[in-house]
Amino acid sequence: MLSVNIPVYNIEVGGLVQELVSQSARLKYPVEIRVYDDGSNENVKLKNREISNLPGAVYTELEKNMGRSAIRNKMGLESGFEYLLFIDADSALVKPDYLSSFLENADQKTVLCGGTTYKKEPPKEKSQYLRWFYGTHREAISALERNNKKGFIITSNNFLIPKKVFEKIRFREDLKMYGHEDTLLGYDLHRQGIQIRHIENPVEHTGLEDGTVFLDKTCVALKSLHLITNQLLPGDTEFARQVNFLNRYQSIRKIIPAFLLRWFFSMFHILLEKHLTGRNPKLFWFDVYKLGYYSTLGQKKAG
C-alpha cells in the first residue's frame, strides 16, 4: 500500500530507516522503504549499505548524481505501491504513529503535506543559529495555518501523493538548480485540480547548515524561482500572485524601482550577511536581503 522514498546525498539514514521499519511492522498494510543514494562519498555509502539488511528496505546506489527532481521521479515511478511518501534524508520522526497518520488521511485525489518541526532548544553550534531560527519561525507552523495560507505550496521533505497522480504530474527535471522544485510541483498539481491538504504530521529537520551555507542556498533557490517565473512559466500571473515572496516583491517594485533595490543590495549586502550570521539575526533583514538579491537577477530585463 505504501512506498516510502528517501533520496540520499551524503547523509547517513540508518536511524531514520530503523524507525520507519519499526512503525511499518505495526501496520496491517504492506510497506516498502526505498533509499536511493545519489552519489554520496564512500564513507556514507558504506554505512547506508547496512539498510539493505532491514525488512522491507530497498537500497540502491546510482551510478551518477541525478539531482533533486530526477531522483525523486525515478524513485516514485519505480515504487511498488499505490501511495508514495517522500521524506528528506535529514529528517527524524517525532510521532510514533507517523506512518499510520498519513494512511488514515490518504485518498486517491489528494496530496498530503505533513509539515516540519525543529528542536525547541537552539543549536549548540552558533553558526547554525540562523537556519534553526528561520526554520522555527517560518517553517514550523501548524496545519491549520498552512491550510489557510499556503495554497498550492507543498514542501518535498514530507509529503504523500497517490502514485496514479505522480505518474501524470511529477517534478519538472528542467529545473536543475536547488530550490522551488516542490513549489513548481505544487502549482502543476493545483492547475490539474489536485487537492493539497496539510495535516499535523511533521518530521523534525535535523540538517542545520552553517549560516553562510544557508544564505548561499537561499540565493540559489531565488535563482530557481527567477527561472520558473521568466522561462518555465512566463507571464503566469497566478503563480506570481500566490507565491508570497513574488507577491511581496511585485508590490514593493510598485514603490521602489528595481535599480534602487539593486543599489541597496550592492552597498549593504556584506553588512546584512554579517548581521544574519551573527548572534541575534532579525528575519526582517533576511527578507530585505532576499528582495535585494532577487532584484539583481536578470538585470537587463529589470526596470
pTM, to two decimals: 0.93
Return the pLDDT at 302: 41
Return the pLDDT at 299: 67
Residues 60, 35 contacting (CB under 8 angstroms)? yes
CA–CA dist 236, 242 (Å, integer): 11
Other beta carbons less than 10 A from residue 195's beta carbon: 12
Cα–Cα distances in angstroms (integers) from residue 131 to residues 13, 70, 126, 201, 205, in the given order: 21, 26, 10, 21, 10
pLDDT in tens, 198-238: 999 999 999 999 999 999 999 999 999 999 999 999 988 89
Return the pLDDT at 301: 46
Q: What is the mean pLDDT of each run of 10 residues along the chain (303 residues)?
A: 96 96 94 95 95 95 91 96 97 96 95 96 95 96 87 89 97 88 94 94 96 97 95 90 92 94 96 95 97 86 42
